Amino acid sequence: MKSAPIFQNFFYNSMEIKLASEKDCFQIAEIHFKEIKHGFLNQLGKEFLGYFYSAMINSPNAFLIIAEENNSVIGFVSGSTNLKKFCKEFFRKYIFKSFLIFLKKYLVSIFLKKFLKQ
């Protein structure tokens, strides 16, 4: 389902503010990874962020609004109306994928530490 623009900027006719859709989540993850340097979510990588934002898009307990220009996401705002419920939904759906991402990051970290010591 394509969402209608919430607001269309009068100065830049090609920019739209609208609810994010599933196709936007990895562009949003890329922006988050590049622009938000602090916090633990960024340390988990773009793949995890993609799943996180996908969960937000599909959750009744979260929202994700994007600014889009020329079919590219240029910014976003996200939030949760009930963080506890959203976290439960996220881990229920993505627990296995999250575990694999954590494991991969942990194993790569251990390998690099051992490799760099030699």
Instruction: Give the other-Cβ count within 10 Å of 50's Cβ.
Output: 19
| Helices 25-35/45-58 angle, 10° precision | 130
Do 76 and 21 meet the contact criterion of CB atoms below 8 Å apart?
A: no
Q: Which domains does the chain have, with CATH numbers?
A: 7-117 (3.40.630)
Q: Quick one: what percent of the chain has pLDDT higher than 70?
A: 73
Q: What is the pLDDT of residues 31-40, one digit of tens each?
A: 999 999 888 7
- Write the CA distances from 9 to 6, 67, 68, integer angstroms: 10, 10, 11
Q: What is the pLDDT of residues 49-92, one digit of tens each?
A: 999 999 999 999 999 999 999 889 999 999 999 999 998 998 88
Q: What are 80's strand-pairing partners?
A: 62
